[in-house]
Each structure stands twice: as structure tokens, then as C-alpha cells.
Amino acid sequence: MQDNQIVLSLEGITKRFGALMANDQLDLTLRSGEILALLGENGAGKTTLMNILFGHYVQDEGVVRVAGKVLPPGSPGAALAAGVGMVHQHFALAENLTGFDNIRLGTEPLMRLGSSRAAARRKVEQIMGESGLEVDLDRRVAALTVGEKQRVEILKALYRNVRVLILDEPTAVLTPQEAEGLFAVLRRLAANGLGVIFISHKLGEVLAVSHRILVLRGGRKAGELVTAQADRRAIADLMVGKSVAELKRTAPEPGKTLVEFRDVSLMRGVARAPLVHANFTLRAGEIVGVAGVSGNGQAAIAALLSGLALPSSGQVLLDGAPVTSADPRALVTAGVARMPEDRQHDGVVGTMSVADNIAIEEVRRRPFARMGFLNRKAMRQRALDAIAAYDIRCPGPDAEARLLSGGNVQKLILARVLEREPKIILANQPTRGLDVGAQAEVHRRIIAARDRGAAVLVISEDLDELFALADRFLVVHAGEVTDAGPSTALDRSTVGLLMAGHINTAAPAIPA
């Protein structure tokens, strides 16, 4: 770190939303040249704290200082003027403009005289040289890769002479190689005196890039750690407030093929990106992980296996029989259980109760149906059992699902999926938004389902999660699926190259 000057301090920040205490007397300091990792489970108070810093929210108590000067509350303009910049997980770029014009956007009129553009160009090129952020300034943003778009976002902040740079889940859409490149840039920026706050849920990355770690839990500061003296277990225990059990898994014992994608393409319909000539199988007693940067064809795979779409060409076979109609109910009846990516929109009916949502896929069967009538007592008892077994935090089985947090909706879906012991499980982003303790429990239950004989397909953008769960890897890039082989023969680097499309067959590698 370049020096010890405090560039940012948040003192006694308190924020309430009705009865909910989102931030409770929180203190945070950031020094020049320091990379501070900010961690916490979903709902821990990280987002509220950053919204207060940027003036989107006004704190009930406390003060924010930038370079020793008090920041007026509720003023995003004042935060920007004071030198606070943020790169959000979802980029805010004008896709029809060049990278250079995006960097200048909002700082001066775009149609100024050429001499002004020339001076701005020299400044941007100087920043690029000092930071190591290389990007083609003259290409339209729509033509840039995800990693290049992120560099433009960081250059936008640096162009405004920020003292503090905040990055929110910056590696969520990057390959491992792109993430390593980002870490190198952050280290160089910190060495030049910039203060960096790095918000992430990936403990390996936090340990790799940060100097200090601040953990929030329930709106309060749970503790701080010097990164050089920390490890995954210590961070996880601090986040959850108790010891997190280590995940134990045995070697798989694959059985018969339950799902086969035979030269499957999906060029239209519900998927955001096409799938092209995909060939792979799922076997009983095996977890197959799907790795890939978001938007490369994972949604198409999920739509086909959920019964939401039919292939444009090729065949999807379940237990040897081709799927001939886009009928989610038929696939549920055939033994397919689904944990959708968008749990709030696709996973539950918000205005229905917890009990109704847990039983919703089985209401025509015993014990939930008798002589054409719903057995409300049985539905309620199933919900009570699920609430206890899966730690679903809610007012009770009669509460509407829309009142649950995202993490508790995910637990509800997990209970619905696993308690009927399906033959085939699609787990799409199964632990997104869950704290490390809840993640460990989800992983344990998915592995137990595999050991019971289920075929499991896990789609995740978190490579740590895939290496923890998957017996075999599929990697998707630009709609093409590569069978990368057993996870024990792979490392992050090889999977990352496949994700970026640099190699199209798996190469032997040192086990992860």
C-alpha cells in the first residue's frame, strides 16, 4: 500500500426500513492504496451501506467522510464530485457509442471541438498506460467482450479522478483468466494510491486480491480480518456466526443414462442465447456441472430440460424416450425437478402461501388430493416439516411467498424439489444469494440426492461451487457444449480456457 491516509470513513451508520434494521451503527474505514473486501450474506446490509455512501439513501444516523470532509447525505452528485466511483455488476454503458465516448459521457459535451477530444484522448491513454487497462477505444461497446466492457467501466471512474473505487461482484461475468487480469489491475491501482472496496461472495478471490476483510452480518459488523492471516474457514465462520461443516463427498457410481441431448439445437424461443448441436448425457448417480460465462447457452439447456421449449433440431431423450412436446407438467410427471435461475419469477407464485408453493407440483397426487379435493391439512403439515428441515425463515406455512427473502425462497424451492425424490434434478444457480452456511447445506442435499441415484445437472457461474459438486464438467461457449470430462482431471485454468472458447477439447490438467 502506498501510504496510510484515510480516504473514506463511515461512522456510526444506521438505517432503518420500518421495523427492519438494515445498518446498525456501522463503521468502515478505507486507506489510500488499500483493497478492502466487503463480505456478508444476502441481506447483511452491504447494498444499503453502499447506497448511503452514494447518496441514494439517507442514513438515519452517522456520517460519511471522503478525504476528511463530510459528505452531504442524499446527494449522488456530491459523492461523485468527492471522488467516489462504483462499477456495478450490471454495466451502465451506451452500447451504440465507442468505448472512448462512454468514458467521456457525462463529463463534457460530446460535440465539443476536436482539441478537447484530443486532450481527453491523451488523458484516457495515460490512464490506460498507468493502470494496465487495455481496450480498443474506437470500437462500439456492443462489439466488446464482457471483460472489455468492465475495463471501460473502470476507465470511466478513473477518468473522473476517483479516490475510492467500489466494485460490486466484479468477477460474476468473467472467466478465471479475465478475473486474474482484473486482480492485476486492482493491485496496480492500489499501488498508485487508489482505495478499493471489493464486494464479493467468492472467498478464494477475496483471499487472492484484498489486504483486509470486513464482514457484515444482520446489519452489524461481525468482524475484521487481515487477509494475510485469514483462511476460508475463518471467513465463513465469521459470516455465518457459527462453525460451517466441511463438505464431504464420495466418488460417484454412475448408473443408466436418464437424459440424452442428441445433436440438439435451439435457435429461438425462451432462451436468451442459442444452443448449437449439443451432445451430452446425464446418468443416474452423477452430478454434471455446466460452466460458462452467463448468456452462452445455459438458458437454452435449462429451457429444454424444464419442458419450456422443444429443440429446433435434434432430440432430447428422457429414459430413452424422446420429448415430443413443450410441456413442463409432463416432465414433472416423468420425474424431472427444477430449481429455476429466476426463483422469484419462475420458482414461486408470490401471492400463494408457502404451503401452496411447496405442494404446487403434486396437488393432483396423494396425500394432497382426495376425491378431487385438496387436502389442506396434509399440505400444511408438509410445509411445517419443510420449514423445520430446510430452515425456511418465514412467519409460517400460511404466509405468502412474496414476503420471503430471496434466500428463503431458494430454500422453499429446494424443499419442493428434493422431498419428492425425483429421478432428474436441474439445479440452475442453486446457491445464488445464500450465505456460506446455507450453501453448504444445499450442497450436502444435492450430493445426497446423487447418492440416492438421481441424475443432477448443476448450472452455475461459480467455479468454486462446480468444483465442490460436479463429478463431470460440461462447458458452454457461444452455444457450443464441450464435454470436459471428470472434474478430478481438470483445473480452473483449463475450464476457463474452455469458457473463453480458446480450446475446444479438454486437455489433461493438474487436478483442482
Q: What CATH number does the domain containing 93 carry?
A: 3.40.50.300
Are 340 and 432 contacting, i.e. CB atoms less than 8 angstroms apart? no
pLDDT at 464 over 90: no
510: left (phi over 0), alpha (psi -120 to 50) or beta: beta
Report if residue 359 sits inside a domain: yes
As a whole number of angstroms, the distance between CA 329 and CA 449 comes to 21
pLDDT tens, position by position, 472-483: 999 999 899 999
Whether residue 177 is found in the same domain as residue 308:
no
Report if residue 447 sits inside a domain: yes
Which helix (H) or strand (E) segment holds residue 455: the answer is: strand 455-459
Q: Considering 240, 265, 291, which residue would you say is the last residue of a domain?
A: 240
Cα dist. 111→95, 115, 141, 153 in Å? Answer: 18, 11, 19, 21
Which amino acid is located at 143 in the chain?
A
Q: Residue 506: what pLDDT?
A: 42
pLDDT at 243 over 50: yes
Report if residue 140 sits inside a domain: yes
Cβ neighbours of 69 (radius 10 Å): 10
Whether residue 372 is found in the same domain as residue 485:
no
Q: What's the number of CA atoms in the CB half-sphere (13 Å) around residue 440?
A: 16
Whether residue 485 is found in the same domain as residue 440:
yes
Cβ neighbours of 377 (radius 10 Å): 10
Give the chain's domain count: 3
Are 331 and 307 contacting, i.e. CB atoms less than 8 angstroms apart? yes
Segment 455-460 shows an average pLDDT of 96
Report if residue 471 sits inside a domain: yes
Q: Considering 197, 213, 240, which residue would you say is the last residue of a domain?
A: 240
Are 133 and 183 contacting, i.e. CB atoms less than 8 angstroms apart? no
**Which of 340-354, 363-377, 397-411, 452-466 bottoms out in mean pLDDT, i.e. has the lowest?**
363-377
505 or 210: whose pLDDT is higher?
210
* C-alpha cell recorded at residue 342: 429466476
pLDDT at 370 over 80: no
As a whole number of angstroms, the distance between CA 186 and CA 131 comes to 8
> Per-residue b/e over 219-233, b at no fewer than 16 CB within 10 Å?
bbbbbebebeebeee
Q: Considering 375, 391, 421, which residue would you say is the last residue of a domain?
A: 421
* C-alpha cell recorded at residue 484: 470436459
Local confidence band at 213 (pLDDT 50, 70, 90 cut-offs):
very high
Whether residue 70 is found in the same domain as residue 173:
yes
Using alpha carbons only, what angle is made at residue 42 by residues 36 and 46, rounded to the nearest 5 degrees? 40
Local confidence band at 265 (pLDDT 50, 70, 90 cut-offs):
very high
- What are the helix (H) ranges across 199-334? 203-209, 232-240, 298-306, 328-333
Range of the domain at 297: 245-335+422-512
Q: Residue 182: what pLDDT?
A: 86
SS3 of residue 232 by DSSP: helix
pLDDT tens, position by position, 52-69: 998 889 999 999 999 999
Q: Residue 170: what pLDDT?
A: 82
Count, in order, helices (H) and strands (E) of the chain.
Answer: 16, 22
Q: Residue 408: what pLDDT?
A: 81
- Nearest residue to 286 via CA among 311, 262, 307, 257: 257
Task: Judge residue 329's burial from the number of C-beta atoms within 10 Å of its C-beta, 0-12 exposed, 13-18 middle, 19 or more buried.
Answer: exposed
503 or 450: whose pLDDT is higher?
450
- What are the helix (H) ranges across 429-506? 436-452, 463-469, 492-499
Whether residue 106 is found in the same domain as residue 167:
yes
pLDDT tens, position by position, 42-55: 667 888 898 899 88
Q: Residue 509: what pLDDT?
A: 39
Report if residue 105 sits inside a domain: yes
Whether residue 202 is found in the same domain as residue 294:
no
- Rounded to a whole number of angstroms, the CA Rg of the chain reads 24
Whether residue 161 is found in the same domain as residue 267:
no
Report if residue 178 sits inside a domain: yes
Report if residue 135 sits inside a domain: yes
* C-alpha cell recorded at residue 298: 445455459
SS3 of residue 393 by DSSP: coil
pLDDT at 274 over 90: no
Segment 313-322 shows an average pLDDT of 94
Whether residue 190 is found in the same domain as residue 314:
no
Whether residue 40 is found in the same domain as residue 129:
yes
Cα dist. 361→341, 354, 369, 388, 404 in Å? Answer: 18, 13, 12, 20, 20
Using alpha carbons only, what angle is made at residue 290 by residues 283 and 471, rounded to the nearest 5 degrees? 50
Whether residue 64 is found in the same domain as residue 129:
yes
Query: What percentage of the chain exceeds 70 in pLDDT?
Result: 90
DSSP for residue 402: G
pLDDT tens, position by position, 387-407: 888 888 788 888 888 888 777
Whether residue 288 is found in the same domain as residue 312:
yes
pLDDT at 504 over 80: no
Q: Residue 357: what pLDDT?
A: 87
pLDDT tens, position by position, 69-92: 999 999 988 998 999 988 876 678
- Nearest residue to 95 via CA among 45, 141, 33: 141
Contacts with 182 (C-beta within 8 Å, 6 or more apart), sequence order: 147, 150, 170, 171, 174
Report if residue 1 sits inside a domain: no
Whether residue 171 is found in the same domain as residue 65:
yes
**Which of 16-25, 47-56, 88-97 bottoms out in mean pLDDT, i.e. has the lowest?**
88-97
pLDDT at 339 over 50: yes
244 or 325: whose pLDDT is higher?
325
pLDDT tens, position by position, 117-142: 888 899 999 998 888 888 899 999 98
- What are the helix (H) ranges across 339-435? 354-359, 376-389, 406-418
- Average pLDDT taken over every residue of the chain: 86
